[in-house]
Amino acid sequence: MNNNILIAQSGGPTAAINAALAGIITAALESESAGEIFGGVNGVQGILEEKIISLTERFADDPDALRRLKLTPDMYLKSCRYKLKKPDEDDSDYVRLTEVFEKYNIGMFFYIGGNDSMDTVARIKEFTENRGLNIKVIGVPKTIDNDLIEIDHTPGFGSAAKYVATTLREVLIDTGLYPIENVTVVEIMGRDSGWLTASAVLAPPENFPSEPIICLPETPFDKDKFIDRVREEVNRAGFAVVAASEGLRDADGEYISANTGALDKFGHPQLSGTASALTGIIRDELGCKVRGIELGTAQRSAGHIASKTDIEESFTLGSNAFKYAESGDSGIMALLRRVGDDPYEVEYGAVDVSKVANAVKGVPKDWIDENNFTVTEEMVRYLRPLIVGEESIEYKDGLPDYLYDRHN
Amino acid sequence: MNNNILIAQSGGPTAAINAALAGIITAALESESAGEIFGGVNGVQGILEEKIISLTERFADDPDALRRLKLTPDMYLKSCRYKLKKPDEDDSDYVRLTEVFEKYNIGMFFYIGGNDSMDTVARIKEFTENRGLNIKVIGVPKTIDNDLIEIDHTPGFGSAAKYVATTLREVLIDTGLYPIENVTVVEIMGRDSGWLTASAVLAPPENFPSEPIICLPETPFDKDKFIDRVREEVNRAGFAVVAASEGLRDADGEYISANTGALDKFGHPQLSGTASALTGIIRDELGCKVRGIELGTAQRSAGHIASKTDIEESFTLGSNAFKYAESGDSGIMALLRRVGDDPYEVEYGAVDVSKVANAVKGVPKDWIDENNFTVTEEMVRYLRPLIVGEESIEYKDGLPDYLYDRHN
């Protein structure tokens, strides 16, 4: 009887992706119909290589570890960036996956990931169904980019937004300390969608004299308008903070951060990030002191300032995913819809995963105030509840006591 | 009767500098001999311009605000980078300061800052004493660089170290997720001393397969040895994380991050940070995927992950500074000495401020393991207690509820 369970994670990490894993494991451990729970290490790429571990053995008798797993950022089962070919072009990967599923008596397969991963879910579902295998294949969403359609917001986004808004709050105060004109540019993740950069709008503390200047990838970068806005803010407040998407492009669609063609002193091509490009422009045009900050992967892994709303929603989505599979659903992604902003309320459900696969949701044009380099009140209402609440993370020797297992 | 109090802050911010301010205010409010408490905005530069506010008015009847002040990073009274001239060359600033002290009936002046600020304290003490004024002039230490002599460690360092070690822990896990070789380089503050960079040694979670590769400014950068070490780590663990000081220099004393002479596409000189320089070298020599992270000013302002040990020590140093002044001391800096590592214990005291002024404490040679790009067990024992404990920061709408007043 194929009542065993296989779970894997894919794509970029978030602070909430292990909460979804913990949600699936918790629901499966509580279920009487479920068999053994397995984890595939390094996503579908690892499953093809049969990198399979027993999560039942690891967690069934260790509720403390399961609780720590929920609050550990990044991916307990590690990741991959492996894209399956279309089955009608080359079905060898699918045949191999099916072998592994059968060897481990897998009746449910859960894949936690973003829109690429949902494409993988849709294809595995179709292939196994066509072969007449009885395997429930379910997608569980996550991405700090918040760019999945159908779902109100993606698990992982709220925690990344809380980290970005908190850090921007601290950077705003810092930048305003000196009686000399100065500008700080913070580069924020999200190459094609500006949701995370937009969360900078929440940053100013009460009474603060300056607003962050927000540059989203949805708006072509206009150097003159940008410099005017920075100059205006520096004249008004004495300083300015710019929150710029790493994916900022000019009117020709070229990245602001494009390779400059220059070589550094070791003879390597000089790659300029968005922060570096913008600090150069500001220094040249305004002549004042300018600093750049590139938070990089720290944004997607900041479990120490995770949003409780985000972690709990992700856990529930994982738990729901198991229940859908148990009741016979397949080829769906667990999701949530917003019912109210204030009080904030969501309802949970599911959607055909093929509707979500490969589609991208950017920031709506009418939520962007292009002239003022900011976002509208609708965006603020949308963002505010997603960063609310703090988890009681345990610390050991002064550092978050994250769960890490080597799997080898 | 000159029993009023003046407090100002100077130099770079930290997460603990307002705790020292709160400590002085709290002790002064509890004292029967103290008059009104004033704050000088923007350090001595602001005092020269008579930018003076009443802290008694602000805090005497608002204990909640005083509690929030203690946990707010950056500097409530703002900062300056103003260096007083030597009095025998030009005493006009000292004459002006004395006028302001007399106008506000100041009997105690507290200056919270690093080694430059302690030089200012020493000079003001000498000048006012020579003029026969009865003003107690006291220094209160702070700097994330941890480079003051006489004191075991400086307030602000423990919180910055906790932020760096926490972030490195999250970046280490993130970097190890993919089944492809990759390296992340994190650039850490501290241009001349490597204390903060060294705190990366605390980052690996239990069971983690890789150690950060630590590059301190005290050790001349050797490209070949560095690449060998990165290659070794990538071969062993599949990935590597480099923690590099922004002040990294080569054997000729030239900054690794020195201007390359190249121009970007807008025609500006291309400034390359240390992270950018090292990612270029690694990409060239190893050919694997490399990312750079520049946390910048986020390191010195991260109140959301402040060390409770650090905050409480800073508060006590401020409170002690008031008591020393009240008992007639002048020209001293409040300090702490370590009595034990485990259990960790300190004793408080004071030192002649002229002994501390302008001196710099780097990482001792014998605490650096140059061949292995790490630090020794002595350094770990020194660092570990400084990051212990978390303050109960209040959150409002999902963000730390820092105290911010405009002062104008």
Over residues A262-301, the pLDDT tens digits come to 554 555 555 568 999 999 999 999 999 999 999 999 999 9
- Mean pLDDT score across all residues of chain B: 95
A145 is catalytic: yes
CB within 8 Å of chain B, chain A residues 364-403? 384, 386-390, 395, 397-402
Query: Which has more pLDDT, A374 or B83?
Result: A374
Q: With 0.90 as the threshold, say if the pTM is over it.
A: yes
What contacts B17, CB < 8 A, 6 or more positions away? B9, B74, B75, B112, B142, B155, B156, B314
pLDDT tens digits along B279-332: 999 999 999 999 999 999 999 999 999 999 999 999 999 999 999 999 999 999
pLDDT tens digits along A88-137: 999 999 999 999 999 999 999 999 999 999 999 999 999 999 999 999 99
- Average pLDDT score over residue span B113-139: 95
Type of residue found at B158: G
Residue B268 reports pLDDT greater than 70: no
> Does A224 touch chain B if contact means CB atoms closer than 8 Å?
no
CB within 8 Å of chain B, chain A residues 33-92? 42, 45-46, 73-75, 78-81
Residue A257's pLDDT band, with cuts at 50, 70 and 90, is: confident
Helices B308-326, B17-30: inter-axial angle, 10-degree rounding: 40
Among the listed residues A145, A222, A341, A342, the single catalytic one is A145
DSSP characters over B224-271: HHHHHHHHHHHHHHSEEEEEEETT-BBTTS-BTT---S-B-TTS-B--
What contacts A64, CB < 8 A, 6 or more positions away? none
Interface test with A, best of B153, B174, B242, B384 (most A CBs within 10 A): B174
Residue A375's pLDDT band, with cuts at 50, 70 and 90, is: very high
CA closest to B187 among chain A residues = A294
The structure tokens 């201007």 sit at B259
Q: Which residue among B171, B177, B275 sits closest to A78, beta carbon to beta carbon?
A: B177
Radius of gyration of chain A (CA): 23
Instruction: Report helix, strand and coil shares of chain B as percent, to nearest 5.
Output: 40, 20, 40
Report the alpha-carbon distance of residue B56 to residue B5 in Å, rounded.
Answer: 10
Structure tokens at A365: 């044009």
CB within 8 Å of chain B, chain A residues 192-221? 202-203, 205-209
Report the alpha-carbon distance of residue A137 to residue A124 in Å, rounded.
Answer: 7
Number of A/B CB contacts below 8 angstroms equals 261
Report the alpha-carbon distance of residue B36 to residue A121 in Å, rounded.
Answer: 69
Nearest alpha carbon to residue B294 among A173, A299, A268: A299
Report the alpha-carbon distance of residue B249 to residue A201 in Å, rounded.
Answer: 38
Return the sign of the alpha-carbon dihedral for residues A108, A114, A120, A125: positive
Structure tokens at B103: 């106008």
> Does B356 touch chain A if contact means CB atoms closer than 8 Å?
no
Q: How would you classify the pairing of strands A182-188 and A289-294?
A: parallel
* Ordered strands of the A106-113 beta sheet: A52-54, A37-40, A4-9, A106-113, A136-141, A332-341, A344-352
Q: Percentage of residues in chain A with pLDDT exceeding 90?
A: 92
**Phi and psi based region of residue A186 (left: phi greater than 0; alpha: psi -120 to 50; beta: remaining):** beta
Report the alpha-carbon distance of residue A369 to residue A382 in Å, rounded.
Answer: 15
What contacts A272, CB < 8 A, 6 or more positions away? A257, A258, A259, A260, A280, B264, B270
Nearest alpha carbon to residue A83 among A359, A358, A402: A358
pLDDT tens digits along B347-406: 999 999 999 998 899 999 999 999 999 999 999 999 999 999 999 999 999 999 999 999
The residues with which A183 forms a beta bridge, in sequence order, are: A240, A290
CB within 8 Å of chain A, chain B residues 165-184? 165-167, 169-171, 173-180, 184
pLDDT tens digits along B21-55: 999 999 999 999 999 999 999 999 999 999 999 99
CB within 8 Å: A276 and B281: no
Report the alpha-carbon distance of residue A334 to residue B114 in Å, rounded.
Answer: 54
pLDDT tens digits along A341-370: 999 999 999 999 999 998 899 999 999 999
Helices A223-237, A274-286: inter-axial angle, 10-degree rounding: 70
- Which residues from A are below 8 Å from B270, CB to CB? 260, 262, 264, 270, 272, 276, 280
Residue B259 reports pLDDT greater than 90: no
Structure ipTM: 0.96
pLDDT tens digits along A193-217: 999 999 999 999 999 999 999 999 9
Residue B272's pLDDT band, with cuts at 50, 70 and 90, is: low
Report the alpha-carbon distance of residue A23 to residue A12 in Å, rounded.
Answer: 19
Q: Percentage of residues in chain A with pLDDT exceeding 70?
A: 96
